[in-house]
């Protein structure tokens, strides 16, 4: 039986206002995410991953606007709602790349947790037990030793688990994690995902990453380049039998594959964001936009 559709999103056009006009950052990226599903959004730095995640939370910078998109969360139109703020930290939870930078250095772990519990209207008398329970859930065997520490007294891994404890104070339906395993080895990364699944078994999980190994631990993968979707589908199929030249280039850049980079080959820009570096590109790519191809996975290309 298919699980509930938690996120139904279309970026439309996300553009930044600059001193000399506008720059399109993300164009027509479509995401669908069901309960308990992991979706990895992958691509190089600057591919539009984080900007897409920020638009889902309606936290775009002041000079960046989303035009013509859609954002349905658990069947509700969030673009039509006055504010998404009441849902952030409750139904929609964000786990940052660096817990140490995310936490307020002047506040203890206790105060961070109490702030979240207050927002959730947990009575004052119950906050300490709920805070301890959240830390236990996040993997702290002796949470009382952490409760009154400041962020600078925590290791990077401990700070990351504190952010999970903050999320565990509520029961989110959507979890957005931006490079959550950056700097962790493969064993620690797998433990992190096991922890997420244990703490948030029914939450839909959007994982923003540039790490192919992290993407391989997800159910589905969506590949972005230049703010556009290049390929999407089941993680195993996309990563084992990539169809788009850009996805193949990402896989070729892995250490175990020789770290073969894709240098610029052309000065001219094409419809496809990968045109300048694509070894398969031709004049066809200049005359027509990429079209959708369905072959188990979906990809958008003029030639493949």
CA atoms within 13 A on the CB side of 10: 7
Q: How far apart are CA 62 and CA 284, in angstroms?
A: 38
Contact 130, 194 (CB under 8 A): no
Contact 37, 221 (CB under 8 A): no
pLDDT, average across residues 106-118: 94
Model confidence at 246: pLDDT above 80: yes
DSSP H/E element including 8: strand 5-10
Q: Are strands 204-209 and 38-42 parallel, antiparallel or unpaired?
A: parallel
Judge whether 196 lies within some domain: yes
Query: Tens digit of pLDDT for each residue in 76-102?
Result: 999 998 788 889 989 999 988 888 888
Judge whether 126 lies within some domain: no
pLDDT, average across residues 235-258: 85
> For the purposes of burial, counting CB atoms within 10 Å of the CB of 233, is it exposed (0-12), middle (13-18) or buried (19 or more)?
buried
Query: Tens digit of pLDDT for each residue in 270-294?
Result: 889 999 999 989 888 888 889 999 9
Judge whether 143 lies within some domain: no
CATH code for position 58: 3.40.50.300
Q: What is the pLDDT of residue 304?
A: 59
Model confidence at 257: pLDDT above 70: no
Q: What is the pLDDT of residue 276?
A: 92
Contact 291, 222 (CB under 8 A): no
Q: How far apart are CA 40 and CA 209, in angstroms?
A: 7
Judge whether 97 lies within some domain: no
DSSP H/E element including 41: strand 38-42
Contact 207, 38 (CB under 8 A): yes
Number of domains in the chain: 1
Task: Report the percent of the chain where pLDDT is more than 70.
Answer: 96
Mean pLDDT rounded to a whole number for the chain: 90
Domain membership of residue 189 as a residue range = 5-91+172-301
Q: How far apart are CA 7 and CA 4, in angstroms?
A: 9
Using 50, 70 and 90 to split pLDDT, how confident is the model at 232?
Answer: very high
Strands (E), 168-296: 174-178, 204-209, 220-225, 228-234, 291-295
Model confidence at 256: pLDDT above 70: no
Q: Which two tokens stand for residue 249?
A: 């280039």
| DSSP alpha helix (H) spans, 169-253 | 186-199, 212-215, 235-240, 245-252
Query: Tens digit of pLDDT for each residue in 156-214?
Result: 888 888 998 999 898 899 999 988 887 777 887 888 888 888 889 999 999 999 888 89
Q: How far apart are CA 200 and CA 204, in angstroms?
A: 9
Q: How far apart are CA 163 and CA 39, in angstroms?
A: 20
Judge whether 10 lies within some domain: yes
Query: Tens digit of pLDDT for each residue in 125-168?
Result: 999 999 999 999 888 999 999 999 999 999 888 888 899 899 98
Q: Which residues of 163-177 are buried (b: 16+ CB within 10 A; e: fewer)?
A: bbbbbbbbebbbbbb
Judge whether 228 lies within some domain: yes
Judge whether 36 lies within some domain: yes
Judge whether 220 lies within some domain: yes
Q: Report which of residues 77 and 256 the model is more confident about.
A: 77
């Amino acid at each position: 039986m298919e699980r509930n559709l938690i996120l139904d999103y279309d970026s439309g056009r996300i553009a930044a206002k600059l001193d000399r006009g506008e720059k399109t950052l993300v164009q027509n990226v479509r995401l669908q995410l069901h309960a308990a599903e992991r979706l990895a959004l992958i691509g190089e730095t600057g591919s539009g991953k984080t900007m897409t995640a920020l638009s889902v939370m309606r936290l775009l910078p002041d000079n960046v606007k989303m035009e013509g998109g859609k954002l349905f969360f658990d069947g509700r139109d969030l673009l039509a709602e006055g504010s998404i703020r009441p849902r952030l930290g409750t139904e929609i939870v964000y786990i940052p790349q660096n817990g140490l930078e995310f936490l307020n250095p002047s506040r203890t772990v206790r105060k961070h947790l109490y702030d979240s519990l207050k927002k959730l209207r947990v009575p004052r008398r119950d906050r300490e037990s709920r805070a301890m329970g959240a830390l236990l859930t996040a993997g702290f065997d002796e949470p009382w030793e952490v409760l009154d520490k400041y962020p600078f007294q925590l290791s990077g891994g401990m700070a990351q688990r504190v952010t999970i404890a903050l999320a565990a104070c509520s029961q989110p339906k959507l979890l957005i994690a931006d490079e959550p395993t950056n700097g962790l080895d493969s064993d620690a990364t797998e433990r992190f995902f096991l922890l997420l699944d244990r703490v948030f078994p029914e939450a839909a999980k959007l994982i923003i990453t540039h790490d192919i190994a992290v993407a391989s631990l997800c159910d589905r993968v969506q590949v972005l380049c230049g703010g556009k979707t290049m390929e999407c589908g089941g993680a195993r199929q996309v990563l084992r039998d990539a169809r788009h030249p850009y996805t193949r280039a990402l896989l070729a850049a892995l250490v175990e594959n020789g770290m073969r980079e894709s240098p610029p080959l052309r000065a001219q820009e094409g419809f496809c964001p990968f045109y300048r570096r694509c070894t398969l590109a031709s004049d066809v790519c200049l005359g027509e936009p990429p079209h959708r191809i369905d072959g188990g996975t979906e990809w958008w290309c003029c030639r493949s």
